[in-house]
Amino acid sequence: LTHIGAKFMFVAGMFVSGCVTILFGMLDKVPSGPVFIGLCFLVRAMDAVGFAAAMTASFSILAKAFPNNIATVLGSLEIFTGLGLVLGPPLGGFLYQSFGYEVPFITLGCVVLVLVPVNMCILPKYDSIPSKNSFWKLILLPKVLLLCLTICSLSACLGFLDPTMSLFILKKFKLPAGYVGLVFLGLALSYSLSSPLLGLLSDKLPYLRKWLLVSGGLMTALCFFMLGPAPVLHIESQLWMFVLVLVLIGFSLGMSAIPVFPEILHCAYENGFEEGLSLLGLVSGLFSAMWSLGAFAGPTLGGFLNEKLGFEWASAIQGGWALLSGLATGIFYITEATRRSSSSSLQNPPGNNEERTHLMGSET
């Protein structure tokens, strides 16, 4: 990012994603079998590269443009992430039913490609100086490792719902297929509406970030335990309760996800990292990598557990990721606060202030 520039990386990532999305629409022309499967993996891999480039650059540009309000801006933009989650399935479904397989992908790809020249004209160009900031030095900081676990667990919990929740809804509540997407609205809307408020709170009261992270992780774990609900509770699942838990999951995910980026940046500054686009690129890349790792692990493990144990147990076990990250982060922050208070008391013994007052009085 520091060598080719954040703007170029963002625009190039969008261009690749747009072209690859159009290629998705052409895959039904490929003969079935190993060739089709191989091309699916290839196209998905190309899409991942474009997505990673665009997301990493976008986080860096936002943090560079709004250095004092990072969480607020990220939280505000999550409104549009939620809007995409809300509008994507029904619009895609409508285009698919009306015009066939190719049209949804070609339409979306063309929209992304049209936005490429728009961003080329609108986005400012940020000059960056390559620094000696080390990716490994950043990721091996204990606090950053715990925050990486938080990102990974949140993404895994969210990804778990993709292959499992719709099957559970169809089987448990006997809803028509068209209504399944409406159930997802509870999570998407609560996440998108609460994110700007949580971002503003995180920027205005930075000391609350740690407790938002811990509370969000523990609340997410509890919600996933109640999503089935877990068989040990002996509670019959009902549609209204299921939607309510999804709403709470959206809110709890926002509590943990929004403060993570500024918290990693703050930790990097505390440990002597140089400010600038180079560090922002490192943090953005780390965030995207951990999110993508969770997005891979969540559906994979979740799909396996759902097949072997059922949705109720699978969701409860999946919540263990969030529980682990919440407890580990809470223990770390408590230990850090205890260590700092003890070190400050050692550096400033109680008698020092009194002695200094007496000395100043005798001098006068």
22 and 106 Cβ atoms separated by less than 8 Å? yes
pLDDT, one tens digit per residue, over 297-356 is 888 888 898 888 888 899 999 988 899 989 999 998 888 888 877 777 666 655 555 444
Token look-up 């999503």 returns 227
Report residue 229 as tokens: 């609900």
Helix (H/G/I), strand (E/B), else coil: 245 = helix
Report residue 199 as tokens: 């971002």
Alpha helix (H) residue ranges in 100-238:
102-122, 135-139, 142-173, 177-204, 209-227
Q: Is the pLDDT of residue 101 over 70?
A: yes
Which residues have a Cβ under 8 Å from the Cβ of 337 and sit 6 or more positions away? none
The pLDDT value given to residue 12: 93
The pLDDT value given to residue 113: 93
pLDDT, one tens digit per residue, over 233-281 is 888 888 888 889 999 998 998 888 888 888 888 888 888 887 777 788 8
- Residue among 352, 133, 153 at smallest CA distance from 249: 153
The pLDDT value given to residue 57: 87
Chain centre to alpha carbon of residue 174: 31
31 and 86 Cβ atoms separated by less than 8 Å? no
Extents of the domains making up the chain: 1-69+80-120, 133-345
The pLDDT value given to residue 208: 85
Report residue 221 as tokens: 């774990």
Q: At what angle do helices 142-173 and 177-204 cross, to 10 degrees?
A: 150
DSSP annotation of 141 reads S
Which residues have a Cβ under 8 Å from the Cβ of 105 and sit 6 or more positions away? 21, 22, 24, 25
pLDDT band at 361 (very low <50, low <70, confident <90, very high): low
Percentage, residues of the chain above pLDDT 90: 18
- Provide the 10 A C-beta neighbour count for residue 87: 11
The pLDDT value given to residue 364: 43
DSSP annotation of 208 reads G
Any idea which architecture 133-345 has in CATH? Up-down Bundle (1.20)
The pLDDT value given to residue 15: 95
Hey, what amino acid is at 248?
Answer: L
CA dihedral 49, 54, 58, 59 (to 10 degrees): -20
DSSP annotation of 322 reads H
Whole-angstrom Cα distance, residue 63 to residue 67? 5
Mean pLDDT of the chain: 84
Which residues have a Cβ under 8 Å from the Cβ of 18 and sit 6 or more positions away? 109, 110, 111, 112, 113, 116
The pLDDT value given to residue 359: 46
Hey, what amino acid is at 127?
Answer: D
pLDDT, one tens digit per residue, over 180-236 is 777 777 888 888 888 888 888 888 888 888 889 899 999 999 999 998 888 888 888
pLDDT, one tens digit per residue, over 43-78 is 989 998 998 899 888 888 888 888 888 888 888 887
